[in-house]
A and B are shown apart, each in its own frame.
Chain A
Amino acid sequence: EPEVTQTPSHQVTQMGQEVILRCVPISNHLYFYWYRQILGQKVEFLVSFYNNEISEKSEIFDDQFSVERPDGSNFTLKIRSTKLEDSAMYFCASSEGWDHYGYTFGSGTRLTVV
């Protein structure tokens, strides 16, 4: 079964450092998403991306965050200057169509900011 692949699985970074989380969506999917889940809490939407531009973003997705599809396969989330409160699981997801057909989550990257 096709998978959304995320790397690394765990990243530890110092406060103030920049981090890039990487995702390889399912190959025929056109819509890409990032979510985060603070330990023990619900999954929260960050941003959706389609046709090389952001289509929707939440209030969490401030100027510290950016997304990019640098080539035909990768989808990245960059956090410019990490804060302690950015520590969370970050999930990438992708879907085939705008009606969420085939919506699939990756296994996540655990980001720990120290």
Chain B
Amino acid sequence: QQQVKQSPQSLIVQKGGISIINCAYENTAFDYFPWYQQFPGKGPALLIAIRPDVSEKKEGRFTISFNKSAKQFSLHIMDSQPGDSATYFCAATRAGNQFYFGTGTSLTVIP
């Protein structure tokens, strides 16, 4: 059973545009939802994370929107830049347990 489903698989956005990546999860016991950014040959790096007691979290150009009732959360990248081109993974977990990752979204920001 796929615990976390992520879409789209790939995304091309113009510089300055908004990139939106969506994830849906199965387990209502999950209590931590991070987004990771991964560049080729590197490990996943934590970008931003949210807990289910809030519906939105913003850090700079990155925003997580969280819909507990729909069991969905999304990453919005405002004013996307070519340097944002990377693979993005959503994940979900609950305290003391493994991370379940989405399948990844390859983002390309074209100048």
Residue positions of A touching B, CB distance < 8 A: 4, 6, 33, 35, 41-45, 48, 55-56, 58, 91, 98-100, 103-108, 110
B72 adjacent to chain A (CB < 8 Å): no
Interface residues of B in 17-62 (CB under 8 A from A): 32, 34, 36, 41-46
Contact indicator per residue, chain B 61-90, by CB within 8 Å of chain A (1) or not (0): 000000000000000000000000000010
7 A-B pairs in the complex with CB atoms less than 8 angstroms apart: A4-B43, A42-B103, A43-B44, A44-B101, A100-B32, A104-B46, A108-B41
- Most chain B CB within 10 A, of A41, A43, A48, A110, is at A43
Total cross-chain contacts (CB, 8 A): 52
Is there contact, CB below 8 Å, between A99 and B95? Answer: yes
What is the minimal beta-carbon distance from A105 to any residue of chain B, in angstroms? Answer: 4
Which residues from B are CB-within-8-Å of A98?
A: 95-96
B43 touches A58 (CB 8 A): no
In whole angstroms, what is the CA distance A42 to B91 when docked? 10
Mostly, the A contact residues are strand
The answer to whether B45 and A43 have CB atoms under 8 Å apart is no
Given A56-B98, A100-B32, A100-B95, also A43-B46 (CB < 8 A): no
Query: Across the interface, which residues of B come within 8 angstroms of A42, CB to CB?
Result: 89, 101-104
Give chain A residues whose Cβ lies under 8 Å from the Cβ of B32.
Answer: 99-100
Cα of A99 to Cα of B96 in the assembled complex, Å = 6
Q: How far is the CA of A44 from the CA of B43 in the complex (A)?
A: 13
**Could you tell me the distance in whole angstroms from the C-beta of B91 to the nearest C-beta in chain A?**
8
- For residue B108, give the distance in angstroms from its CB to the closest CB of chain A: 16
Contact, CB under 8 Å: B98 / A106? no
CA distance A60 to B103 in the complex (A): 17
B95 A105 Cβ-Cβ under 8 A: no
Asked if B46 and A45 sit within 8 Å, CB to CB, the answer is: no
Question: Which has the most chain A C-beta neighbours within 10 Å: B41, B45, B96, B102?
Answer: B96
Chain A: CB-nearest residue to B97 = A56
Shortest Cβ distance from A97 into B: residue:
B95
A107–B101 touching, CB < 8 Å? no
Question: B44, B97, B98: which contacts A105 (Cβ < 8 A)?
Answer: B44
